[in-house]
């Protein structure tokens, strides 16, 4: 009992001590409250001081953040500065490379112009080449007297030039020929593009297939292009006949005397290659698999209005007995209504063929669709609509591409000016073998 009484006293004493501590704290709090009641400004100051301290902490944190961001910005600026310097250095290097390439290109073009002039001179002035060959002959055959040496003949010069041209590499890739599935397999045909030849002049590069006094491409270069085309397509260049254009409606029947100029050719001879040029004008191919007759035509806007397409078809009918319903026709690459315009008077003639042949009729130079006009004229002449292939056909690959819109593939007078190149459409009858 004595032990129990002692423990109880200890517990009571401990509780009394705790109560005294609590009473003391309450008294202190009461004094603080009493002081706040008597001095409210002191309380506000303490609160303000507390908030000020908190703001100082926040400001310090913001300063640290700003300092860190500033360092990042300075580092980023240094990176941009270095990149700008590197870019300037690279630009200077690129400019130097471009200048060097331009110099090389100019030199190559100059060399080609000199080569072209040399070839023309060799072709046209073969008799003046005695000095060119005399030194070589004197050196190689010094035992011969000068009186026994003869000037090289024109044929010899042409042969030497041809041998040299055969050794030149093709430009702008390989020869590429477009073909139509409408023309039967008993015929060989194609439409050429501008790649795979040796013509160097930019507007004639590279498979230019026509030479004239107004073009700077020598005949020998064009002949080499035709030879390479023949090797690729499988025909004999010696049997190659190209239309002699006059933008009219004359047709040559092979086997009869040829007119001075003609925009159409027809034949039934096996292995004879006939071709029509085009550089915006339409190369037209006609084939009759029943009578085994073929025709080609060159049709610009003048020839179209003069009826060269039906003139060629009619020659096939009258000369070789073709039936209109047996003939198929393919309109090759040519300028589209997107790029070809005429004065109002000429455009009205196409509008008379069909209103859809003319766009922007009220303008000073309306746009004209010579391909659509050709289709309509052929249909009116008796060809079946599904026997004509042009850009309106959707069930066959489109071969009637706009020459002006595709500078990488085709030559174009509208786009390139007077010194333009020429692609062709060609056709021949296969032999029985």
**Statement to judge: residues 179 and 257 lie in one domain:** yes
- Is 6 contained in some domain? no
| End-to-end C-alpha distance for the chain, whole angstroms | 141
- Is 262 contained in some domain? yes
pLDDT range class, residue 61, cuts 50, 70, 90? confident
**Statement to judge: residues 135 and 95 lie in one domain:** no
Q: What pLDDT, on the 0 to 100 scale, is given for residue 102?
A: 61
**Statement to judge: residues 28 and 135 lie in one domain:** no
Residue 83 pLDDT > 70: yes
Tokens of 205: 């590069």
**Statement to judge: residues 210 and 317 lie in one domain:** yes
- Is 423 contained in some domain? yes
Tokens of 311: 């003139």
Report d(CA 53, CA 332) in Å as an integer: 89
**Statement to judge: residues 280 and 236 lie in one domain:** yes
**Statement to judge: residues 262 and 328 lie in one domain:** yes
**Statement to judge: residues 102 and 237 lie in one domain:** no
Report d(CA 412, CA 402) in Å as an integer: 9
Mean pLDDT of 397-425: 97
- Is 405 contained in some domain? yes
**Statement to judge: residues 219 and 152 lie in one domain:** no
**Statement to judge: residues 84 and 135 lie in one domain:** no
**Statement to judge: residues 83 and 22 lie in one domain:** yes
pLDDT range class, residue 65, cuts 50, 70, 90? confident
How many domains, in total, are found in the chain?
3
Share of the chain above pLDDT 70, in %: 82
- Is 90 contained in some domain? yes
Q: What pLDDT, on the 0 to 100 scale, is given for residue 144?
A: 45
Q: Please write the tens of the pLDDT for every residue from 24-60.
A: 878 887 777 777 666 655 666 666 677 777 777 877 8
> What's the domain range around 150?
127-158
- Is 286 contained in some domain? yes
Which residue, of 49, 81, 115, is where some domain finishes? 115
Count the neighbouring beta carbons within 10 Å of the beta carbon of residue 209. Answer: 25
**Statement to judge: residues 199 and 340 lie in one domain:** yes
Q: Please write the tens of the pLDDT for every residue from 284-343.
A: 999 999 999 999 999 999 999 999 999 999 999 999 999 999 999 999 999 999 999 999
Q: Please write the tens of the pLDDT for every residue from 90-137.
A: 767 766 776 676 666 666 656 666 666 666 666 555 544 443 333 333
- CATH number, domain of 187, equals 3.60.140.10
Count the neighbouring beta carbons within 10 Å of the beta carbon of residue 177. Answer: 14
**Statement to judge: residues 137 and 223 lie in one domain:** no
Tokens of 127: 């008799």
């Amino acid at each position: 009992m004595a032990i129990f009484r002692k423990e109880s006293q200890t517990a009571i004493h401990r509780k009394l001590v705790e109560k005294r501590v609590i009473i003391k704290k309450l008294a202190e709090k009461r004094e603080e409250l009493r002081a706040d009641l008597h001095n409210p400004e002191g309380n506000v100051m303490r609160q303000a001081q507390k908030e000020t301290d908190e703001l100082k902490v926040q400001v310090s944190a913001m300063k640290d953040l700003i300092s860190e961001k500033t360092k990042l910005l300075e580092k980023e600026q240094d990176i941009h500065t270095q990149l700008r310097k590197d870019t300037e250095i690279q630009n200077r290097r690129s400019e130097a490379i471009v200048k060097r390439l331009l110099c090389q290109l100019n030199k190559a073009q100059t060399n080609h112009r000199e080569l072209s002039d040399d070839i023309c001179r060799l072709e046209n002035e073969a008799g003046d080449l005695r000095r060119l060959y005399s030194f070589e002959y004197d050196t190689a055959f010094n035992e011969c007297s000068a009186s026994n040496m003869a000037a090289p003949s024109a044929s010899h010069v042409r042969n030497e030039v041809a041998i040299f041209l055969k050794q030149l590499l093709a430009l702008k890739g390989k020869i590429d020929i477009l073909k139509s599935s409408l023309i039967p397999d008993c015929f060989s045909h194609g439409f050429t593009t501008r790649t795979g030849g040796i013509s160097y002049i930019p507007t004639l590069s590279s498979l230019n297939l026509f030479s004239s006094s107004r073009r700077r491409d020598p005949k020998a270069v064009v002949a080499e292009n035709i030879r390479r085309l023949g090797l690729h397509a499988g025909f004999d260049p010696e049997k190659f006949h190209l239309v002699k254009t006059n933008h009219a409606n004359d047709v040559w029947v092979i086997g009869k005397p040829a007119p001075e100029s003609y925009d159409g050719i027809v034949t039934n001879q096996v292995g004879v290659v006939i071709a029509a040029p085009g550089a915006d004008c339409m190369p037209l191919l006609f084939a009759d698999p029943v009578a085994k007759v073929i025709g080609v035509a060159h049709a610009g806007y003048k020839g179209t209005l003069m009826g060269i397409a039906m003139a060629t078809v009619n020659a096939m009918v009258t000369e070789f007995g073709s039936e209109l319903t047996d003939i198929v026709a393919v309109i090759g690459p040519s300028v589209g209504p997107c790029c070809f315009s005429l004065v109002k008077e000429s455009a009205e003639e196409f509008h008379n063929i069909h209103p859809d042949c003319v766009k922007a009729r009220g303008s000073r130079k309306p746009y004209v669709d010579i391909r659509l006009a050709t289709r309509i004229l052929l249909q009116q002449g008796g060809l079946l609509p599904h026997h004509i292939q042009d850009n309106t056909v959707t069930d066959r690959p489109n071969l009637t591409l706009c020459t002006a819109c595709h500078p990488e593939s085709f030559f174009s007078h509208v786009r390139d000016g007077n010194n333009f190149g020429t692609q062709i459409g060609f056709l021949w009858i296969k032999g029985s073998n």
